[in-house]
Amino acid sequence: MELINKVFCDKVKLIVNEAVSFIRNERLNFNQSAVEYKGTNDLVSYVDKTAERILVDKLILLIPEAGFITEENTLSINDKDYCWIIDPLDGTTNFIHGLNCFCVSVALMYKNEVVLGVVHEVVSDECFYAWKDGGAYCNNNKITVSSIADFNQSLVATGFPYTNYSRMEAYMRVFDYCMRNTHGLRRLGSAAMDLVYVAAGRMDAFYEYGLNAWDIAAGCIILKEAGGEVSDFSGEENYLFGREILATNKNIHQSFLTVISKEFNQ
pLDDT at 135: 98
pLDDT for 5 = 94
SS3 assignment, position 98: coil
The tens digit of pLDDT for each residue in 137-164 reads: 999 999 999 999 999 999 999 999 878 8
Q: Which residues contact 165 (CB under 8 A, 6 or more apart)?
A: none
Confidence bin at 28 (pLDDT 50/70/90): confident
* Mean model confidence pLDDT for the chain: 94
Query: Looking at residues 89-106, what average pLDDT do you find?
Result: 95
Q: Is residue 151 within 8 Å of residue 256, measured between CB atoms?
A: yes
In tens, the pLDDT along 227-266 reads: 999 999 999 999 999 999 999 999 999 999 999 999 998 7
Q: What span, in angstroms and rounded, lies between the C-alpha atoms of 14 and 23?
A: 14
Per-residue pLDDT at 77 exceeds 80: no
3-state helix, strand, coil in the chain (%, to 5): 40, 25, 35
| Chain mean position to CA 164 | 18
pLDDT at position 91 over 90: yes
**Strand ranges of the sheet holding 244-248, from the earlier edge strand across to the other edge:** 185-186, 156-158, 205-209, 244-248, 229-231
Q: Is 154 exposed, middle or buried (0-12, 13-18, 19+ CB in 10 A)?
A: buried
How high is the pLDDT of residue 76? Answer: 74
d(CA 266, CA 263) in angstroms, rounded, equals: 6
| Complete domains list, the chain, with CATH | 6-142 (3.30.540.10), 151-264 (3.40.190.80)
Tell which residue, 100, 103, 60, has the closest CA to residue 82: 60
